[in-house]
Structure 1
Amino acid sequence: MTTCAFPELSTSFEQGGPPSTAVGRREFVIAADGSYAARLAGEGDARFPERWTLGGPEPYAVPLPGNQPEEPDTEVLPMADGRVLVHRRVAERHVFALVYPTGPGTGELTLGGVECEELTLLPPCPDGGRAYALAAGPRSTDVWLVAGGTFGPEHVAEVPGRCSGGVWLDRTGRMLALDRELDGYTKTVAVDLERGGEVTPLLQITEESDDRLLLADPGSGLILIRSDAPGHDRLGWGVLGSTRPVRFPDCLRPADCAVTPFAVQPGQLLMPESCAVALRIDGPAGGRLGVWRPSWRRLHRFDAPEGWLAGAGLWGGEGVLSLPYVRDGSPCGVARLDTPAEPPAEAPRQPRVCRPVPLQQAPLTARSSTG
């Protein structure tokens, strides 16, 4: 049996910077393979699930209204087969169903429910056929398989501590990173869903800092992290499975702005410095779009398309970033941005990248279990 180690990411830090916002509730969710997306459309008392088809030459949306309007806190998640998972809160119970178009109407397959106080869907599983949710309690957090199982929702893991976030570390949906609050501090841990929820420390900057994993690309190994170790929340980047340094670039902490990464360019096998990262920039002048690569020393800013569903986007081939938008006359649109492969020519807005700091990380290798 081959083991797979996830030791802590350890580093020092430097001072500076305004805080970056945490990744909030996802209003527009894109399937792991980019084929479909889903959102809760409508307003007020007339909300309904809506599926976007992104795999064809032109995007189009299909409304999936049920027998009654959805509540504002209903969550939706697209599956790779075109169905949409709907998570509803009914009293103290969280119920799940798969909805899909059936001619002029909407078909619905009830999956069952989970009775708990708090439950949130995790990002789409990389295999496209399963969906997971977190049920956080005061002392531990349960991981539930809510779609793709055999007999409805299945309890798959219990993690000590209160967990949030959720980042997939592989392409199979086995290794899940969670931000765990335990003993007053938040650290990222790796959870092996095929080994009964075995937990391994993954990210720790200092013993008394809150350290979170925001994004990870399994192909290149690039990770985006956020830590308050410097005294302020800072965005940083590192590489899983290597001894490359973790850095906290000054350009990712522009003055008076909150910066949130939301997509990493795939396909850059073993080339993390070449991966483009899309970021949402919120400041006094409104929201903008940012593009940055680890090999750059500056953040390239763009005006977001009108009606952009802020914080949503998908990287395609040759560095094209697709941004979904909704506006009058165009209820389902995708703007495509050709991002530069070289650093932008304008003068840098921020000083140089911070001094690299050591990253202690053992190789990330495959793990298989035997009976």
Structure 2
Amino acid sequence: MTACAIETAPEDGAVGSTGITIAVDGSYAARLAGEGDALYPERWTLDGPEPYAVPLPLDQPEERDTDVHPLSDGRVLIRRRVEDRHAFSLLYPTGPGTGELPLGGVEADELTMLPPSPDGRCAYALAPGEYSTAIWLVAGGAFGPEHVAEVQGHCTGGVWLDRTGRMLALNRQQSGAPVKAVAVDLERGGEVTPLLQITEDSNDRLLLADPDSGLLLIRSDAAGHDRLGWGVLGSLRPVRFPECLRLADCAVTPFAVQPGQVLMPESCAVGLRVDGAAGSWLGIWRPAGRRLHQLAAPEGWLAGSGMWSREGVLQLPYATGTVACALARIDASEVFAHEVVTEPAQAEHAGGEPSGGSGTPVVCKPVPLQQAPLTGRLGPG
């Protein structure tokens, strides 16, 4: 299963926190539950016959800016702000109570959790400084939080590019230059390689990636304004900016990509959150169909969160006043049943996607994952 990636900075195209974090393998999720100021961590178990929630309250309620992060062994990492430090602990159920294992802290003015690592054991965070951004391993190390890399520039976002938790994509800005997505090799001290550049002057951000198919979801202003587009990792074909993903007066943000479609990026189903004046609802799209299907979200959907099965079933977590923990399931094959699929090459030849004719920007050659460790590096920052 593929879970959502989290873009927390507004300039990276986010529209707000989903309120829940799902492990990459779909085994567990975690969120802050409760009402008003009476907030407490809650773990959802998702890999059984039916999902169920386990509350993990402690002696006092949690602050609203506290982060919770599920690990594949069932423990929940919690990050709390304590004056000028970010303190980390592991929570786990112990009979009627909650056990807590302190891990230590990181001194930083700002710290953002990265999406769950594909290995399920580790958790990472970004701490931007004045001239560079630190990458911290905050869970899964031998001696508490460990500083693993320092990347020059201000970095946001965070997308895993492989299934091992080695290759991380970040959206980086240096000295007022445009934002560009770069790949960071965590096993080689944070060596940096250019990943995405559509034009020299455009802001090109990576929002999501699927390692199986190579599908990339991109936000760029190469056309003069922000557009949501897609490309393929390791390909020199142009980035495409489908008109169907451009909705008037609405923000469209991808949150999950169907895994398991090896070498078939056009067939990958994508879940998108659509935000407009009427609220938030669901979008489902795939490159081959070039049509955005807009659907009503289930009541209580934790908007912007969800995961795909390899078979193309989108599972959306929701909670209501009467249902504390549940998943709504949408079969993409039923949604796509009446689409007219045109091969991308035919669309390009016919002047379809991408629009703009011969002047269409071409993405610079990204990094083929199968050739890691990377070549053509920029060095440790």
Query: In structure 2, what is the Cα distance between the partners aligned to 1:346 and 1:180?
Result: 37
With over 3 angstroms needed to count, the CA separation of the structure-2 counterparts of 1:329 and 1:342, relative to structure 1, is closer
Q: CA deviation at 1:360?
A: 3.7
Report the alpha carbon displacement of residue 228 of structure 1 after superposing the two structures with TM: 1.4
TM-score (norm: length of structure 1): 0.90
Asked whether the equivalents of residues 251 and 353 of structure 1 are also in contact (C-alpha less than 8 Å), the reply is no
Kept after mapping to 1: 8 A contact 2:23/2:29: yes
**Which residue of structure 2 aligns with residue 167 of structure 1?**
159
Residue from 206, 215, 218 that aligns with 1:225: 218
Decide which moves more: 239-248 or 98-107: 239-248
Residue 42 of structure 2 corresponds to: 50
The answer as to whether partners of 1:20 and 1:258 remain within 8 angstroms in 2 is no
Task: Report what 1:300 is aligned to.
Answer: 293
- After TM superposition, the structure 1 = structure 2 runs for residues 342-353 of structure 1, keeping only pairs within 5 Å, are 343=336, 345=338, 353=353
Distance of 2:120 and 2:228 partners within structure 1: 29
Residues 1:361 and 2:353 aligned together: no
Cα gap change, 1:245 to 1:205, in 2 (>3 Å): closer
Q: Take 1:99 and 1:20, find their aligned partners in 2: how far apart are those partners? A: 31
Task: Summarize the alignment of residues 82-231 of structure 1 with structure 2, pairs less than 5 Å apart.
Answer: 82-184=74-176, 185-231=178-224
**Greater share of residues in helix:** 2
| Gaps in structure 1 of 5+ consecutive residues | 1-18
Which digits, 9 at most, give the CA deviation of each residue in 1:94-120, with x for residues without a partner? 000000100000000000001110001
Moved more, 23-32 or 274-283: 23-32
| 1:47 aligned counterpart, secondary structure | strand
RMSD: 2.1
Change (3 A) 1:211 1:359: closer
Q: Contact 2:197–2:363 at 8 Å: present in 1 too?
A: no
TM (normalized to structure 2)? 0.87
- The answer for the alignment partner of 2:241 in structure 1 is 248
Match of 1:313 among 282, 292, 306: 306
Runs of 5+ unmatched residues, structure 2: 1-10, 341-350, 375-381
What are the superposed Cα offsets for residues 329-350 of structure 1, whole Å, 9 maximum, x if unpaired? 1011110011136746489xxx
Structure 1 distance, partners of 2:155, 2:118, is 20
Query: How far apart are the structure 1 equivalents of 2:262 and 2:96?
Result: 44
Task: Determine the C-alpha separation between the residues in 2 that align with 1:346 and 1:219.
Answer: 24
State the secondary structure of the residue aligned to 2:135: strand
Aligned residues: 349
Question: Counterpart amino acid of 1:298?
Answer: R
Work out the CA distance in 2 between the residues paired with 1:287 and 1:294: 22
Q: Which residue does the alignment assign to 2:228? A: 235
In the alignment, the residues of structure 2 paired with residue 157 and residue 329 of structure 1 have an alpha-carbon distance, to the nearest angstrom, of: 45
Give the structure 1 partner of residue 73 of structure 2.
81
Q: Is the 8 A contact 2:86 2:107 kept in 1?
A: yes
- Matches of residues 29-48 of structure 1 in structure 2 within 5 Å? 29-48=21-40
Whole-angstrom CA distance in 1 between matches of 2:200 and 2:242: 22
Residues in 1 aligned to 2:16 and 2:159: alpha-carbon distance in whole angstroms: 14
The corresponding residue for 1:7 is: none
- Cα deviation for residue 183 of structure 1 reads 2.2
Which of the pair has the greater relative contact order for Cα pairs under 8 Å at 6+ separation? 1
